[in-house]
Amino acid sequence: MTLTALIALAAAQTAAPAAELPADNEIVVLTERLRSIRGSPGVTIRKGVVTPGACKIKRSSGDAEVDALPCGAVALCATRPQPSRKAFNTCIDAEAIDAIVGLRGERAARNAELIEAEETGE
């Protein structure tokens, strides 16, 4: 698998309720960066047991924080029993969406801190 879950991320992103998403376009930008990544999850699933291997990013998005998201989603999903590859991919989709929204929030908080520091002269 070449992290096909990332392709589904854009479709799931547009299907998510607007109240859950920030009101700006950064989510779209982050999602596009995530979709541009190519990699291999490096897992084996047999009888519901996920055996993690080496998740590898073969083509970077150019954003190190975004590049870390797919392997992070794979690692989280690998800790749970997965009845099938399809269930595993669904888990990756959900974790990747949560990670994008979380990263957007973290970046917004960092930007707010920088603006506040600049305004107070710190």
Q: pLDDT tens, 47-90?
A: 777 887 888 899 999 999 999 999 999 999 988 888 888 998 89
Q: Which residue has the higher pLDDT, 73 or 7?
A: 73
Q: Looking at residue 24, what is its pLDDT?
A: 62
Q: Looking at residue 120, what is its pLDDT?
A: 86
Report whether 18 contacts 32 (CB < 8 A).
Answer: no
Q: What is the pTM (predicted TM-score) of this model? A: 0.68
Q: Looking at residue 18, what is its pLDDT?
A: 46
Q: Which residue has the higher pLDDT, 27 or 102?
A: 102
Q: Looking at residue 55, what is its pLDDT?
A: 86
Cα–Cα distances (Å) from 85 to 4, 78, 117, in that order, read 11, 11, 47
Band (20; pLDDT cuts 50, 70, 90): low
Q: Could you give the CA distance from residue 39 to residue 6 in angstroms, rounded to a whole number?
A: 10
Cα–Cα distances (Å) from 104 to 20, 24, 34, 107, in that order, read 12, 10, 13, 5
Mean predicted confidence (pLDDT) in 7-14: 46
